[in-house]
Structure 1
């Protein structure tokens, strides 16, 4: 759906894999309410405004628990984004000499923390290859485990290919080897059904600003109740203040400092919107639009679509390249000539580009969201066809 943005222009927004836009009206209303009515520090006072701020945070945890299938809301720690959540999990769990298994479709928010620990404390890493469609060989994953393997890290859906990994099966494999699993659900939370408890996921990092429809600067990390991480940051929590050590109670143990209460209130409103509309419904609509986009793109000479083949399940991410056309130029022209917002380049996932054969070219990524329409896809295809001819 076209939306208003700078200078009053209309934009066809197809960059939901980066950030959802526009937000539901109730998100900005919740932000404003929190700023005006609940601006005190949650957990730091007993006066009414502080209590209301605490209530905003807990209500958001409850809604997220329903969306993500989490039994206890206090097992969700709020963070500034998925990147912080992934760093909290990776740096809070791994120790010197550990072996980690990951995949060739990971975002730099996974790869860079892992590589930093390889340099600093000597962890070992195995990256499991995927094919050009993003499929992974489960037998190869199983064979990669070693005696010192403590963690399997993977995304639920690739932010380049739109492919969906079988995280329930991967979780079972990891547990069979006595390891834990950390899943990056940045591209699946709010877009397709997620069931962390049913899948027995140990840790899951998610953003607030993508499929959950919240504001930027919000996100979280789910930590299974039987798992204790070294806190990533230490400081005031409003609880057990007489102790010199970080509290053991959740979520305080992982949430030092004053939280982003207005942002979390906005996230709550966005997550509630997703819950009321139904993730299953959103997934069906986005699958329909992405399949329509792929089918029409493939009719344009010289266009190749990355990721799962037409008819195969994927999230609403469709990346493509065009012969004799630079991906960055295509994205620039879509914006300036057609008011269509997409993203081009490496998408912070060079290993996935290596797997897809596009490391040297990058790709154009069009990603649908909860308000995308058939008309949006038609206008994109019309614009791509014009760019192909000129």
Structure 2
């Protein structure tokens, strides 16, 4: 029998449902302004350009940086991270990162290790996701160029001390790159006050926008080598990519409808308040942790009850494959979650779930208390077999 209610608890992958303002902004972009920004002087092209500029301004307010042109739009956080990593590092550079990083960080680093001889140290974390800052200090070398850390683990939900890591990086002449895939729109964040030199983010998660959007904040003193070359609508007579921002990092016609939607999502977050969003998600995750930890046969991952975390709770049921658990939650109870390895194999090794993977529940601002209560009852029934 199909469940009467569909409960969506996979916000860490993609937020849903999208605010109506996001949908309306995208529809207006498609129906009212078909022009390409920066590629013409007719009314629709200029209007599309205004949408792009408004999006940059909104993001600068939300993320805490002064010049809106210091954000480069990308297809997703993965492309933004690739631009930051490959655009900065050179042969012989040394990088410090953590065992919690997504493959969007690890794979570019491993590629550069193999092809350019960069050196990488992965800092271990505890079972709950804590990092030993003293251990980090010992890893710095004369040629350490970059420190990379996820702001919040997409597996454990723990929140890493990126501000302290940034301070440590700067003391040693290195830069700080933060993966904000699970924090932008969910956690209070101010790149200038926190000392973040580069921040990669997706548009389709905490920003409440559509898939295929994202961006990279780049400190004004940081220069990256573009990873895409082509038309920008500026300095078209020159054979080289322009040096001006944001054109230098945005070759090709941009996804104006998607960026319009992402900007509308960011505006919605500004109106609600990031603090309020975090407070709501925190309350829901604490309810989940408090109740699931009481169940026999349930192993919870990440921070303990009462400790800081984003809206992510991962777990495994003894003697049951996480994929089977997720399948039953979907088909029997109408609850959408994610199961598997979550693109973070080193994170699974740190949480001792390499052999199993994990079920990941992730809440959002639109998640209701009764939906969490339904999840808890469902997991309780499954744990009893």
Displacement, 1:369?
A: 0.3
1:163 to 151, 158, 161: 158
**Secondary structure of the corresponding residue to residue 221 of structure 1:** strand
State the SS of the aligned residue for 1:198.
helix
Residue 60 (1) aligns with residue 84 (2): no
Structure 1 CA distance, aligned partners of 2:44 and 2:65?
A: 28
Native 8 Å contact 2:3 2:332 kept in 1: no
Asked whether 1:256 is paired with 2:261, we answer no
Match for residue 81 of structure 1 among 69, 76, 82: 76
Q: CA deviation at 1:142?
A: 1.1
**Shift of residue 214 of structure 1?**
0.2
SS at match of 2:193: coil
Q: CA deviation at 1:309?
A: 0.6
Secondary structure of the 1:376 match is helix
Q: How does 1:237-386 map to 2 (within 5 A)?
A: 237-386=232-381
SS at match of 1:344: strand
Whole-angstrom CA distance in 2 between matches of 1:110 and 1:158? 12
Deviation string 1:293-348 (CA, Å, 9 cap, x unpaired) is: 00010111111111111000100000011111111100000001111000011000
Residue 351 of structure 1, CA deviation: 0.6
Match of 1:131 in 2: 126
Structure 1 residues 120-166: Cα deviation after superposition (integer angstroms, max 9, x where no partner)? 11111000000000000111111101111101111000000000011
Partner of 2:41: 46
- How far residue 8 of structure 1 moved from its aligned partner, in angstroms, is 11
Equivalent-residue separation in structure 2 for 1:39 and 1:59 (angstroms) = 17
SS at match of 1:197: helix
- 1:186 is aligned to 2:181: yes
- 2:3/2:334 contact within 8 Å kept: no
Q: Does 1:175 align with 2:170?
A: yes
Q: 1:185 to 1:373 in 2, by over 3 A?
A: same
Cα distance, 1:336–1:8 mapped onto 2, change above 3 Å: closer
* Counterpart in the other structure of 1:3: none
CA distance in 2, matches of 1:191, 1:108: 21
Greater Cα shift, 257-266 or 138-147: 138-147
Residue 136 of structure 2 corresponds to residue 141 of structure 1: yes
2:3, 2:333 within 8 Å by CA — same for their partners in 1? no
Retained in 1: the 8 A contact 2:88–2:224? yes
Cα drift, residue 10 of structure 1? 3.6
Normalised to the residue count of structure 2, the TM-score between the two structures is 0.98
2:229 match: secondary structure: coil
| C-alpha separation in 1, matches of 2:379 and 2:5 | 18
SS at match of 2:6: strand
Structure 2 SS opposite 1:351: helix
5+ residue gaps, structure 1, are: 1-6
Distance 2:153 2:255 in 1: 28
Tell me the residue number matched to 1:4.
none
Deviations 1:179-200 (A, max 9, x none): 1111000000011111101011
Cα distance in 2 for residues equivalent to 1:255 and 1:312: 40
Matched, 1:111 2:106: yes
**Secondary structure at 1:330 match in 2:** helix
Whole-Å Cα distance in 2 between the matches of residues 134 and 44 of structure 1?
A: 47
Q: CA deviation at 1:175?
A: 0.5
Poorly superposed stretches of 4+, deviation over 4 Å: none
CA distance in 1, matches of 2:62, 2:355: 38
Whole-angstrom distance in 2 between the partners of 1:354 and 1:87: 24
